[in-house]
Structure 1
Amino acid sequence: MHYTISKPEKNIDGKIIIPPSKSISNRVQIINALSYSFEPIKNLSTCDDSRVMQEVLFSNTNVFDIGHAGTSMRFLTAYLAKILGEWTLTGSDRMKERPISVLVDALNALGAQITYLEKEGYPPLKIMGSNITGKEVELAGDTSSQYISALLLIAPTLENGLRIKLQGKIVSRSYIQMTLNIMAEFGIQSQFKGNEIYVANQTYKVMPYTVEGDWSSASYWYAFMALAPKGKLFLDGLKKNSFQGDSGLVDVFSKLGVKTNFSNKGMYIEQSNEVCNKLVFDFNEMPDLAQTFAVVAALKNIPFHFKGLETLKIKETDRIYALIKELAKLGYILYEPKKGELAWDGDMEDESDHIIIETYHDHRMAMAFAPIAMLRPEIQIADPMVVNKSYPNFWEQLKEVGFKIEEN
């Protein structure tokens, strides 16, 4: 199935209710489970990743298929490792290609009992839940922050607490800090000094929680605004002082012609006349937004050089490869200067006929490329419902502000 997207006949204008943060929702669900809490989680994300997490945590079986939900795979691996019982954790074909040995090795070093049912180093996993008594583990600092967050979430419940030593450069530090900040809201004290994190044995506080809006989801509306000739949007549900590292998009989008105005009621975004000549940025703290910025910068004819993208190759797809291939259909010649980098120097070639953007089972590919509709008539997106992973009502909200969407 394809969606054909056509831009509004008038300027973009309206109110968008930003969906709840998937990242926060999934962390709080694990915390609630660890504290045996029945307190409500208000404004919980309804995306596939959060729904799958909820289904597993409230299931009465011991075999769990989490589909494409990467966050759920990482967090549940650590959670189930300390819950007494025998568990099988599997996922989609793509999930079986996403490495998890870094997390499994760390958990086994702490005393967990996890083995691979198929390919060594990859799901599916057999987990013998047990009392984990280890108290110290070392990880490469440039590994996925989800591995580190998975360990941190269970750390207070371990008999001896947990000390994590990170070797070398730390990528996605903001996601690690977000995990610690959310844990602090539930009463957990921690120390994060240099490349070492320590969490003592403690008890999570049982309390109700309200999830804030998702800054990653907001990035797509910034992209539409950056490419629109004129317009103004009110984005509802976001916090100015957010735990989410992706809130840093405000400053980066200011270089691409979008200004943000915060008020007591929320925030407005609209065009400015200020754009940079070249966008050079290290996405170490917000790698999930690289696709959005690559598409916007290219469409605005702004050369760019992005760094800090080391983790993009093990996401839902190899996102660097996917960006290079799909933007080539539009005539943009992107390349990878070094591992974890992506650049466009302004070089162009003839664009393809009858362009269909492939999404590679990656929700962010669909949403990052949708704003092309502002400049290319009737852009087509393949497998559009992949957005259910993080933003189930994305297409409906596009219709609400005037976009036309036809199913092919």
Structure 2
Amino acid sequence: MHLSWPGGPLRGTAHLPASKSEANRALILQALAGGGTIGNLSDAHDTQLMQRLLAAAPGTAELSAEDAGTVMRFLTAYLSVTNWRGRLTGTARMQERPIGVLVEALRQAGASISYENQEGYPPLQIEGFAAKADDEPTRLAVRGDISSQYISALLMVGPYLLGGLRLELTGHVGSRPYIDMTAALMQRFGARYSAEGNVLTVLPQPYQATDYTVESDWSAASYWYAMVALAPAGSEITLPWLRRESLQGDQAIAAMMTHFGVKTTFLADAVHLQQHAVSANTEPLTLDFTDCPDLAQTIAVVAAALNQPVEMTGLESLRIKETDRIAALQTELAKFGGGLRDLGEGRFRAESSGFAVRGQSVATYHDHRMAMAFAPLALRGPLAVEAPSVVKKSYPRFWKELAKSGFVTTEAD
């Protein structure tokens, strides 16, 4: 897809998908509760896939999570405690993404799970669940720096373990907002949850059928923040259905983008973004993405484009996402005169030298966030985005929203 901006300020209202993180959790909780209505569900591929697989599970012995990591992890736990028997698989890339930590924890809780091929990786053979003989809580300990999706998967099935769950997180805990989101949603569905430091306790009490409306997605909002930061003077955008009191850790984009000249005003049922002046700063900022790794690509691109060096920490999980996002960023930023320099010890610096947009083609590596993180550069010059359909994973209307806002979008030959 060829993408360009005709000139003048960026203005208008952009509609966002519902939060994929909230929706996927709410769907699991609804399925365990056996009822309730989930409003404002996203049309994102991952959310639609989760719905289809949950509906299909009772009548099939093979399910594919395709390339959706959240779906694979949440379903592994859900299918185990609901005594499902069958094969859970995914794409070739999914079969390269580790799941051993979650499987081992579920085995300790009573699940019968085996690996079809490589130890620690999908496909999985799930063969039911053996309840403990006593009613003491299931005691598990996992590293706090693993994917928060493993921790969330265990927490959500906690009420259905005989005696409940006592989950200890050891060492540094990453992505805490995602764990907090899971806990808050569980409580909305009637779970009895408590946390003392890094020890999380879930009592054995089934969920209640609950109606819930999903908030719009803050990670999707990050691309509009990037556009306002890179757009001509006087640009402003309104994003409906975002809350000041959000469960989403990616709301951190509002604070981060103040460094790049974007002011956020919270309205009753929306946020309003507008440019504000910031003084030039050649000293690197330091931003931590431990709790919001999905914002890293957006910030790296904006920082390079504005020649504002940023030292980025908390990027450990980026190498095992849809692609190796560190390597992908390094390759694509270099095409424009930008870079992501490895400083060692998990630190990277987004920087640039002679950054320019002159019709380059951006590879997307089967990664929706690569496509959307680089698209705002069209405000600085024409570019091409390869395999633009990857955005369907989380924001199917992304290109239509850009066109509605004034971008010129044309399909590549």
Q: Same fold (TM over 0.5)?
A: yes
* CA gap 1:364/1:165 in 2 versus in 1, 3 angstroms: same
Q: Is the 8 A contact 2:361 2:384 kept in 1?
A: yes
Q: Please give the residue correspondences for 1:266-305 in structure 2 after superposition, counting only pairs within 5 Å.
A: 266-274=270-278, 277=281, 278-305=284-311
Match of 2:47, as an amino acid?
S
Q: Distance in 1 between matches of 2:354 and 2:278?
A: 28
TM norm structure 2: 0.94
Match of 2:149, as an amino acid?
Q
- Equivalent of 1:42, from 29, 39, 43? 39
Q: Distance in 1 between matches of 2:344 and 2:268?
A: 44
Q: Identify the residue that residue 94 of structure 1 maps to in structure 2.
A: 93
Q: Is the 8 A contact 2:307 2:351 kept in 1?
A: no
Q: Identify the residue that residue 314 of structure 1 maps to in structure 2.
A: 320
Q: Please give the residue correspondences for 1:328-339 in structure 2 after superposition, counting only pairs within 5 Å.
A: 328-339=334-345
Match of 1:326, as an amino acid?
E
Q: Identify the residue that residue 33 of structure 1 maps to in structure 2.
A: 31
Match of 2:110, as an amino acid?
G
Q: Distance in 1 between matches of 2:375 and 2:351?
A: 23
* CA gap 1:354/1:255 in 2 versus in 1, 3 angstroms: closer
- Equivalent of 2:209, from 200, 206, 209? 206
- Equivalent of 1:362, from 361, 364, 367? 367
| Identity across the alignment (%) | 46
Q: Distance in 1 between matches of 2:3 and 2:41?
A: 29
Q: Distance in 2 between matches of 1:394 and 1:242?
A: 22
TM norm structure 1: 0.95
Q: Is the 8 A contact 2:304 2:339 kept in 1?
A: no
Q: Distance in 2 between matches of 1:139 and 1:276?
A: 44
Q: What SS is found at the alignment partner of 1:333?
A: strand
How far the C-alpha of 1:279 sits from its partner, in A, is: 2.2
Q: Identify the residue that residue 119 of structure 2 maps to in structure 1.
A: 120
Q: Identify the residue that residue 20 of structure 1 maps to in structure 2.
A: 18
Match of 1:41, as an amino acid?
I
- Equivalent of 2:264, from 249, 260, 265? 260
Q: Is the 8 A contact 1:328 1:351 kept in 2?
A: no
Q: Is the 8 A contact 2:148 2:174 kept in 1?
A: yes
- 1:179 has 2:177 as partner: no
How far the C-alpha of 1:333 sits from its partner, in A, is: 3.0
Q: Distance in 1 between matches of 2:349 and 2:238?
A: 32
Q: Distance in 1 between matches of 2:131 and 2:364?
A: 40
Q: What SS is found at the alignment partner of 1:361?
A: coil
* CA gap 1:276/1:72 in 2 versus in 1, 3 angstroms: farther
Q: What SS is found at the alignment partner of 1:336?
A: strand
Q: Identify the residue that residue 55 of structure 2 maps to in structure 1.
A: 58
Q: Distance in 1 between matches of 2:214 and 2:103?
A: 29
How far the C-alpha of 1:87 sits from its partner, in A, is: 1.8
Q: Distance in 2 between matches of 1:273 and 1:353?
A: 26
Q: Is the 8 A contact 2:359 2:381 kept in 1?
A: no
Q: Distance in 2 between matches of 1:132 and 1:405?
A: 56
* CA gap 1:349/1:17 in 2 versus in 1, 3 angstroms: closer
Residue deviations 1:294-353 (CA, integer Å, cap 9, x gap): 00011000011000111111111111111111101111232121243221354x379898
- Equivalent of 1:157, from 156, 160, 171? 160
Q: Distance in 2 between matches of 1:150 and 1:350?
A: 42
Match of 1:236, as an amino acid?
P
Residue deviations 1:84-125 (CA, integer Å, cap 9, x gap): 231211111111111111111111111111111112111111
Residue deviations 1:239-270 (CA, integer Å, cap 9, x gap): 11101011111111011100011222422101
CA-based RMSD of the aligned residues comes to: 1.6
Q: Which portions of structure 1, spanning 4 or more consecutive aligned residues, are displaced by more than 6 angstroms?
A: 349-353
Q: Identify the residue that residue 76 of structure 1 maps to in structure 2.
A: 75
Gaps of 5+ in 1: none
Match of 1:54, as an amino acid?
Q
Q: Distance in 1 between matches of 2:401 and 2:293?
A: 25
Q: What SS is found at the alignment partner of 2:261?
A: strand
Q: Identify the residue that residue 332 of structure 2 maps to in structure 1.
A: 326
Q: How many residues align?
A: 403
* Larger mean Cα displacement after TM superposition, 348-357 or 246-255: 348-357
Q: Please give the residue correspondences for 1:387-402 in structure 2 after superposition, counting only pairs within 5 Å.
A: 387-402=391-406
Match of 1:211, as an amino acid?
V
Match of 2:376, as an amino acid?
P
Residue deviations 1:39-94 (CA, integer Å, cap 9, x gap): 22111111111111111111121211121111000000000111223121111111
Q: Distance in 2 between matches of 1:369 and 1:115?
A: 40
Gaps of 5+ in 2: none
Q: Identify the residue that residue 110 of structure 1 maps to in structure 2.
A: 109
Q: Distance in 1 between matches of 2:279 and 2:130?
A: 55
* CA gap 1:190/1:324 in 2 versus in 1, 3 angstroms: same
* Larger mean Cα displacement after TM superposition, 350-359 or 231-240: 350-359
Q: Is the 8 A contact 2:242 2:269 kept in 1?
A: no
Q: Distance in 2 between matches of 1:190 and 1:305?
A: 36
Q: Identify the residue that residue 4 of structure 2 maps to in structure 1.
A: 6
Q: Please give the residue correspondences for 1:209-228 in structure 2 after superposition, counting only pairs within 5 Å.
A: 209-228=212-231
Match of 2:379, as an amino acid?
M
Residue deviations 1:221-252 (CA, integer Å, cap 9, x gap): 00000000131111101111101011111111
Q: Distance in 2 between matches of 1:344 and 1:291?
A: 10
